[in-house]
Amino acid sequence: MIKLYDYELSANCYKQRLILSLLDVPYESVPVDFFPGLEHKSDEFKKINPLGHIPVIDDDGYVLWDAHAILVYLAAKYDPSGQWYPTGDPQLLGEAASWLLFAEGTTNTASAARLYVNLGYDFDIDVCRAGAHRLFRVLDEHLWFREREGLDWVCSGSHPTIADIAIFPDVVLSEEGGVSRLDYPALRRWTDRVKALPGFTIMPGVFPVGTS
Amino acid sequence: MSDPRSLWHPVATSIDLPQHHIFHGQLLGREVAVWRADDDFVNVWENRCLHRGVRLSIGTNDGNELTCRYHGWRYANRSAGCTYIPAHPADAPARTICNRTFPAVERYGLVWSGEDPVGEPPLVPMLDDGTPFTLRSLPVNASAEIVLAQLRDHRFQPVGALDGDHAAMAVTELGDFALALTATGANYHSTAVFFVQPVDSDRSVIRAVLTDTPADSEQIAVLRHHATRLGQLVALAETAATDQPAPEPMVATIDQVSLALSVMPERETNRSAPLRVQVARKWETAHDIMAFELVSTGNPLPTFQPGAHIDVHLPNGLVRQYSITNGPGDTACYRIGVKLEAESTGGSQALHDTVNEGDVLAISEPRNNFPLRRDALRTVFIAGGIGVTPMLAMTQALQPMGLAFELHYFAQAEEHLAFDEIRSTLGDYVTVHLGLSPGETSAELTRVLQGYDHANQAYICGPGPMLEAARTIAAEAGWPDQAVHFEYFKNTTEIDDSSSFEIALARSAVTLQVPSGTTILEVLRDHGVAMPSSCEQGACGTCVVPVIEGDIDHQDVHLKQTERDAGDQIMTCVSRATSDRLVLDI
Amino acid sequence: MTPTVATTCADPVILDQWHPLLPLDEMTADNVGHTILLGEQLSYQLDTDGAPVVWLAADADATALPVLVEYLYVWVCLGSPPEALFAIPEFAEPDRRNIHAGTIGVHVSAPRAIENFLDMGHFPYVHTDVLGAEPHTEVAEYDVHIDPDTNDVWATECVFYQPRAATTSTEGQMSDYLYRVPHPYCVILYKTTPLAAERMDVIALFCRPIAEDRIEAHMFLCLLDPDNSETVIRKFQQTIFGQDKPILENQYPKLLPLDPRAETPIRADKVAIAYRRWLSDLGVTYGVIPAA
């Protein structure tokens, strides 16, 4: 079974829990005392990932780290329909790659702001927040036009991709870092759509979408 | 310039409100939660649950009610009145718990609202005369004043000549927060109306509408053209804003809750009928049962909870109680069912014969003495005849919550079954029992009530003999008293008012005499004590008063046996004392 | 909706309290650390004897502030400190495990965080399937009193339905709780444990006010659980508080209003009402909107 070296409050680990749940792939979560224990910086953990960060997966001996790389691997391997990582469609694949890079940006801004507030990381908070707003503005306009064209997801296909999953946690947790989504109504609607996907799972800070 | 608080402003676009979404907006420093109900009504509410101040925009919208994320308080479409407080499932919430609402009108693809707007949202003739086409709204980190100044120099290309760059621009001022721009070039011209929504002293949203809808094939290009041009304007406005000192943020005052809400709910004061409703529709829903749809003639109708009834004050001076059948969120009217009673003393007869569509009736505010718990693992509803009416409201409340229930509907024959249109939505949850004798009814009740389990609740409404049978059968089947809830049509007990005794009002240190032939309720009112009441025959439970000391002669049918045995409350309209003295906690 | 927030504290009641700065084991002798308390920049370091020293960063003389080491944390006072901190006798019991479960920053006032900690009604909605589950939403009547000797606020006889109260059980049960507020910004929960019938686990929230509307909350545990690893225990506690955080950050106003007419209480809020009155009686003005 896949082992996920995991920290409950990490947005990047949540990306992996989310894709595994959406793909209905069983896995074992190995909790890492990321905080306050700093276990990921321990010599023991650096034997698993010399970079000393999480998430890391161990799929039957195959070890991989970096949140977005793991998404690529999991979707490519465990989604037989080939929709989450659309290797069969060069244009969609290009879009997915482009938005995965965008997700690096949201991680380094919106999610960095969250680490500053939640766990006291030493970042320039004003730079993080301004960067997050710049990216959210672009994404909101992009998604608004997608809706206008009858499309629901960041890439132009009719099915969500790992790009949605890579961006979603950084967006949906942004208010914990002091980045309001008040100005991004299309972004808020898109988070509702992600939450309505079959197999969607929550984490602390993410509310389920509910009809009751 | 007018006070911006007295003006209508756009707060959202219509497409911002898809089904079951809650839009998060802000106007003049005040946050709003905006949501569309399944009946298409658009709600603009202060974005704050008045229990603990949590934003309602993080809650859920089920199409009928908005539920707060923190404690699950439910608020009704239109009225924003609280219909359920899960922490106290046996209580009916004071219906005055109401979130702050703001008016809402959809016009030109925008949702208009305001703090305290005067009149109607602005009519813009050039939009009314055209085929309005709503563009994408853009947030700006700059004051409305700065944005409006930038808009006066704004440039875009007319539809048909989007690729050019030298359209002639003409500005038309449209009041404090709006202007129109007409672009003319290459024999084409387009007019866009720009409304600037003042979000805060340093933030705005530009909401724009073209007067004419482009051909389908051109729409995306037009939208992109304006998004690009407005994006450039936003950059200019934000640069201009950073050159100025940051203004003081707008502070939206939060209303205090009423004194009554800051403590436990206060008691009502009399048998009043403050509401005026008009009969919008009257129809025969079953043999001898007339249904009435009542709409307000003034303010929106107050929130009701499932199980609630209203007092209807009839033209002939009689007062009768009828349960509201509406489901959650269905708040634009009250629907009641009136059975023509064979031995009618004039109440049901008057409603059947003399009250017609268009007539105005005086009614009380809804009152709930038959509250529905929503923490049961299984709920059994047993209705006899017209007793189905409160059950219709209750089942419609449980169904969308996914809580298990069954409705057993006893009636003489098929043609006596009322409100088909509601029952049909309940599908297999309803079992109809027709034409049973009293013995057969008891046998059926025994079957229905077998197998009591933890967290089961039963609600029973129907004729007196059926209720008495159900009471006995439920007790024998192991149902605890507090899990079985009854609503009587009327109290058929022969009231014995021959006793005389003394009542002491503990809080006001007053002692009063209750002579034979007079009720406690009458004595209290005669001495200026404001008392609520409704049926005044010991059935509905409205006139209850806590008792501190003394022996009670219960003659009502509202209290359960355990409540009677506890001896700490009395229905003042019929019940009396067996001791010489009662001490009442009022 | 931007509230006006003081940057430094002028409230003598709060200035004279011990405040939990950070866990002792996060201080070193090698480096000077920096943090904020009540709007003041503080510096800290262990001295050569391993004792914590804390001073105002702006103080050229680095005059040591009063400090106390208690319950795994370094406590500091910016005014005239009381002699001792409130007592948690369980801390010294030999079979207990005392665990610092983490510190999480929240953009809310300390009293809002304390009041949320005292609240059972949100369990089914915020801690779904862990501390509560619909439709078991009822908050039964409980008792509230102020201890005449210590002036602590207590809520007793609290029970609430908990689904899967232990990892081994599949069915829910009624869990018993006791709540205690011994300090304006600290709260302690005592909870029944399946491991010892007569004893209770101790779960505390110690808030360090950074500003009037901003805290770092230290989660302190004193448990009878001998089996679960610290990692697992911390994960559970951080999950729970991580669920509370977005609720707290969506409360407005961020300062706790003490005027009874500001919000709408129900019977389930009895202890919250008592806590608000108690803050009023103490004369606390920092982190609250005092009653008019």
The verdict on residue B219 lying in a domain is yes
Distance from CA of B204 to the nearest CA of A (A): 10
Do residue B556 and residue B526 come from a single domain?
Answer: yes
List, in sequence order, the alpha helices (H) in B190-215.
none
Helix, strand and coil percent figures for chain B, each rounded to 5: 20, 30, 45
User: Among A23, A51, A78, where does a domain finish?
Assistant: A78
Instruction: State the total domains in chain A.
Output: 2
- How far is B381 from B390, CA to CA, in rounded Å? 10
Do residue B141 and residue B98 come from a single domain?
Answer: no
How much of chain C, in percent, has pLDDT values that exceed 90?
A: 84
User: pTM (2 decimals)?
Assistant: 0.85
Asked if the Cβ–Cβ distance from A36 to C243 is below 8 Å, we say: no
Do residue B9 and residue B113 come from a single domain?
Answer: yes
The verdict on residue A71 lying in a domain is yes
Return the amino acid letter for C186: C
Domain containing residue B292: CATH number: 2.40.30.10
Query: Is the pLDDT reported for residue B584 higher than 80?
Result: yes
**C-beta of residue C266 within 8 angstroms of C-beta of residue B73:** no
How much of chain B, in percent, has pLDDT values that exceed 70?
A: 97
Query: Is the pLDDT reported for residue A16 higher than 60?
Result: yes
User: Among B252, B285, B312, where does a domain finish?
Assistant: B252
The verdict on residue B269 lying in a domain is no
Do residue A74 and residue A25 come from a single domain?
Answer: yes
Three-state secondary-structure class, residue C92: helix
Do residue A67 and residue A114 come from a single domain?
Answer: no
Nearest residue, CB atoms, B89 vs list C122, C137, C247: C137
Do residue A44 and residue A118 come from a single domain?
Answer: no
The verdict on residue B21 lying in a domain is yes
Please give the average per-residue pLDDT across B527-541, as a whole number: 82
How much of chain C, in percent, has pLDDT values that exceed 70?
A: 96
Run of H or E residues at B33: strand B30-36
The verdict on residue A98 lying in a domain is yes
Do residue A70 and residue A111 come from a single domain?
Answer: no
- How far is C11 from C284, CA to CA, in rounded Å? 7
Do residue A155 and residue A179 come from a single domain?
Answer: yes
Do residue B329 and residue B395 come from a single domain?
Answer: no
Domain containing residue A170: CATH number: 1.20.1050.10
Tokens at residue C28, please?
């070193």
| Selection from B13, B82, B67 nearest residue B42 by Cα | B13
Do residue A42 and residue A108 come from a single domain?
Answer: no
User: Among B102, B117, B132, where does a domain finish?
Assistant: B117
Q: What is the mean pLDDT of chain A?
A: 96
Please give the average per-residue pLDDT across B469-490, as a whole number: 91
Angle at A17 between CA A191 and CA A187, to 5 degrees: 10
Asked if the Cβ–Cβ distance from A188 to B23 is below 8 Å, we say: yes
Residue whose pair of structure tokens reads 């009547």 in the numeric block = C141
Do residue A100 and residue A141 come from a single domain?
Answer: yes
Do residue B243 and residue B163 come from a single domain?
Answer: yes
pLDDT at residue number B265: 42
Do residue B213 and residue B322 come from a single domain?
Answer: no
List, in sequence order, the alpha helices (H) in B449-584.
464-476, 520-526, 561-566
Do residue A67 and residue A94 come from a single domain?
Answer: no
What confidence tier does C107 reach under pLDDT thresholds 50, 70, 90? very high
What confidence tier does B479 reach under pLDDT thresholds 50, 70, 90? very high
- How far is C31 from A51, CA to CA, in rounded Å? 24
Query: Is the pLDDT reported for residue C97 higher than 50?
Result: yes
- How far is B34 from B61, CA to CA, in rounded Å? 10
pLDDT at residue number C127: 96
Asked if the Cβ–Cβ distance from A35 to C105 is below 8 Å, we say: no
Contacts of B53 in chain C (CB under 8 A): 251-253, 257, 263
Please give the average per-residue pLDDT across B333-356, as a whole number: 86
Distance from CA of B47 to the nearest CA of C (A): 9
Do residue B127 and residue B212 come from a single domain?
Answer: yes
List of chains touching B (3+ CB pairs within 8 A): A, C
Asked if the Cβ–Cβ distance from C230 to A33 is below 8 Å, we say: yes
pLDDT at residue number C165: 60
Summarize pLDDT for B360-381 with one digit per residue, the tens.
888 888 988 899 999 999 999 9
C31 burial class (0-12, 13-18, 19+ CB within 10 angstroms)? exposed
Asked if the Cβ–Cβ distance from B400 to A211 is below 8 Å, we say: yes
Domain containing residue B208: CATH number: 3.30.530.20
Do residue B96 and residue B211 come from a single domain?
Answer: no
The verdict on residue A204 lying in a domain is no
The verdict on residue B533 lying in a domain is yes
Run of H or E residues at A133: helix A125-148
Tokens at residue A15, please?
């990306």
Asked if the Cβ–Cβ distance from A35 to C102 is below 8 Å, we say: yes
Do residue A149 and residue A61 come from a single domain?
Answer: no
Summarize pLDDT for B431-466 with one digit per residue, the tens.
999 999 999 999 999 999 998 998 999 999 998 889
Residues in A lying within 8 Å of C, measured between beta carbons: 8-9, 31-33, 35-37, 39, 117-120, 175-176, 178, 203-205, 207, 212
What confidence tier does B28 reach under pLDDT thresholds 50, 70, 90? very high
Do residue B229 and residue B146 come from a single domain?
Answer: yes
How much of chain A, in percent, has pLDDT values that exceed 70?
A: 99
How much of chain B, in percent, has pLDDT values that exceed 90?
A: 68
CA nearest to A211 within chain B: B62
Nearest residue, CB atoms, B136 vs list A144, A189, A192: A144
List, in sequence order, the alpha helices (H) in B29-124.
none
Asked if the Cβ–Cβ distance from B86 to C137 is below 8 Å, we say: yes
The verdict on residue B370 lying in a domain is no
Least confident of B210-219, B423-432, C203-212: B423-432
What confidence tier does C167 reach under pLDDT thresholds 50, 70, 90? low
Return the amino acid letter for B480: P
Residues in contact with B239: Cβ distance below 8 Å, sequence separation at least 6, in sequence order: none
Asked if the Cβ–Cβ distance from A212 to B227 is below 8 Å, we say: no
Q: Which domain holds residue A20?
A: 2-78
The verdict on residue A212 lying in a domain is no
Summarize pLDDT for C230-288 with one digit per residue, the tens.
999 999 999 999 999 999 999 999 999 999 889 998 889 999 999 999 999 999 999 99
The verdict on residue B262 lying in a domain is no
What confidence tier does C2 reach under pLDDT thresholds 50, 70, 90? very low
Q: What are phi and psi of B81, to 5 degrees?
A: -80, 145
The verdict on residue B257 lying in a domain is no
Contacts of C131 in chain A (CB under 8 A): none
Query: Is the pLDDT reported for residue B95 higher than 60?
Result: no
Query: Is the pLDDT reported for residue B268 higher than 70?
Result: no
Q: What is the mean pLDDT of chain B?
A: 91
Query: Is the pLDDT reported for residue B317 higher than 80?
Result: no
pLDDT at residue number B255: 85
Sheet with C52-56, strands from edge to edge, namely C33-37, C40-46, C52-56
Q: Which domain holds residue B532?
A: 501-584
Do residue B128 and residue B246 come from a single domain?
Answer: yes
Reported ipTM: the value is 0.95
Asked if the Cβ–Cβ distance from A209 to B227 is below 8 Å, we say: no
Return the amino acid letter for A46: K
- Cβ atoms within 10 Å, residue C245: 26
Query: Is the pLDDT reported for residue A34 higher than 60?
Result: yes
- How far is C207 from C216, CA to CA, in rounded Å? 6
Tokens at residue B112, please?
């208009």
Distance from CA of C127 to the nearest CA of B (A): 10
pLDDT at residue number C5: 44
pLDDT at residue number C271: 95
Please give the average per-residue pLDDT across B121-147, as a whole number: 96
Please name each of the domains of chain C with its CATH number: 12-76 (2.20.25.680), 89-289 (3.90.380.10)
Is any Cβ of chain B less than 8 angstroms from the Cβ of A204? Answer: no
pLDDT at residue number C166: 56
Is any Cβ of chain B less than 8 angstroms from the Cβ of A210? Answer: yes
Run of H or E residues at C222: strand C214-223
CA nearest to A117 within chain C: C105
Query: Is the pLDDT reported for residue B267 higher than 60?
Result: no
Return the amino acid letter for B51: H
Instruction: State the total domains in chain B.
Output: 5
Please give the average per-residue pLDDT across C176-190, as a whole number: 97
List of chains touching C (3+ CB pairs within 8 A): A, B
Asked if the Cβ–Cβ distance from B401 to A182 is below 8 Å, we say: no
Substitution target from C134, C138, C266, C270 for chain B, most B beta carbons within 10 A = C266
Summarize pLDDT for C42-54 with one digit per residue, the tens.
999 999 999 999 9
How many CB pairs below 8 A link A and C? 59
The verdict on residue A207 lying in a domain is no
List of chains touching A (3+ CB pairs within 8 A): B, C
What confidence tier does C169 reach under pLDDT thresholds 50, 70, 90? low
The verdict on residue B267 lying in a domain is no
Query: Is the pLDDT reported for residue B91 higher than 50?
Result: yes
Do residue A146 and residue A171 come from a single domain?
Answer: yes
Summarize pLDDT for B243-264 with one digit per residue, the tens.
888 899 998 888 888 776 776 4
pLDDT at residue number C261: 86
Asked if the Cβ–Cβ distance from B72 to C135 is below 8 Å, we say: no
Do residue A143 and residue A170 come from a single domain?
Answer: yes
Summarize pLDDT for A124-158 with one digit per residue, the tens.
999 999 999 999 999 999 999 999 999 999 999 99
Do residue A55 and residue A145 come from a single domain?
Answer: no
Do residue B482 and residue B509 come from a single domain?
Answer: no
The verdict on residue A135 lying in a domain is yes
User: Among B51, B85, B117, where does a domain finish?
Assistant: B117
Do residue B180 and residue B86 come from a single domain?
Answer: no
Summarize pLDDT for A172-210 with one digit per residue, the tens.
999 999 999 999 999 999 999 999 999 999 999 999 986
